[in-house]
Amino acid sequence: MSRSVTIARRFRGPENSGNGGYTCGLVAGFVDGDAEVTLRRPPPLERPLAVTREGDRVLIRDGPGLVAEAVPAIVELEVPPPPGLAEAEEAARSYAGLERHFFPECFVCGPERAAGDGLRLFPGRLPGRGLVAAAVHLDRSLPAAGGCLSPEIAWSLLDCPGAWAMEREMEESGVVLGRMAARLLEPIPAGTSGVAVGWPLGREGRKLYSGTAFFAADGSLHGSARQTWIVRA
């Protein structure tokens, strides 16, 4: 296998690099079934990145530099019951990123992205639940095929709620995605609404661990993910 992928500027996280969840989903598309993707450096925008395979590993390179790698994975998570759409709408009102955000133009959770451009997914705390949650209303301009969102958009929905589950670290210094493994159960219809949630799973030094899930408005589970985040220095 030898081909290339390009991350369009629309799908940025930090100002000059790709959103972690979107990038992971793009790379995971070369793996059959569930996948785990590790980001080795900030994914560059608007230039071809070479895709190669070594055994069961898929490698993404920018010239000689390794950007990301993906391997098949088994993703098993105990997913908490989802809040309702109205409850998630209310939680989003307390989204800390509205006050301070290190990446305000993030495709997924950036408050400076216009409706219909970014996802504008704003995870806020659910009192007494140990979760953050956001109501999601998906614009029909998002990449889709056969009436359903592309896998990289599904991975994007499973991205930033895991970061905001560590709200203190996000407010104080910000975190960046290091690794993500996701399991997609059902395609997500384009133009639909749903609920994204995130919850903490632990910490080791500068590494933070979280889980995420995305549900349809009726509460059915579309997918879940486990993540490793790195606290910015």
What CATH number did the domain enclosing 182 receive? 3.10.129.10
Contacts of 19 (CB under 8 A, 6+ apart): 11, 12, 13, 106, 107, 108, 156, 159
Q: How far apart are CA 68 and CA 28, in angstroms?
A: 10
- Determine, yes or no, domain membership for 163: yes
pLDDT tens, residue order, the chain (233 aa): 559 999 999 999 999 999 999 999 999 999 999 999 999 999 999 999 999 999 999 999 999 999 999 999 999 999 999 999 999 999 999 999 999 999 999 999 999 999 889 999 999 999 889 999 999 999 988 988 899 999 999 999 999 999 999 888 887 888 999 999 999 999 999 999 999 999 999 999 999 999 999 999 999 999 999 999 999 87
Is residue 199 in some structural domain? yes
Give the residue among 104, 2, 1, 4 at the shortest CA–CA distance from 46. Answer: 4
**Domain match, 105 and 163 both:** yes
Determine, yes or no, domain membership for 169.
yes
Q: Is 135 helix (H, G, I), strand (E, B) or coil?
A: strand
Residue 190 included in any domain: yes
Task: Show the domain range for 36.
Answer: 2-72
Whether residues 119 and 219 fall in one domain = yes
Please report, in angstroms and rounded to a whole number, the separation of the first and last CA atoms in the chain.
37
The verdict on 153 and 61 lying in the same domain is no
Question: Domain check: are 21 and 100 in the same one?
Answer: no
Q: Which amino acid is at 26?
A: L
pTM over 0.85: yes
Residue 26 sits in the same domain as residue 91: no
The domain boundary residue, chosen from 29, 49, 72: 72
Phi, psi of 60 (to 5 degrees): -115, 125
Shared domain check, 114 and 41? no
Residues 61, 92, single domain; the answer is no
Q: Of the candidates 72, 96, 112, which is a domain's last residue?
A: 72
Question: Which tokens is 102 given?
Answer: 């290190």
Residue 1: the pLDDT is 53
State whether 127 and 224 are in the same domain.
yes
Integer angstrom CA distances of residue 45 from 51, 63, 158:
15, 14, 21
Q: What letter would DSSP give residue 1?
A: -
Residue 220, exposed/middle/buried by CB under 10 A (0-12, 13-18, 19+)? exposed
Q: How confident is the model at residue 232, as a pLDDT?
A: 85
Domain count across the chain: 2
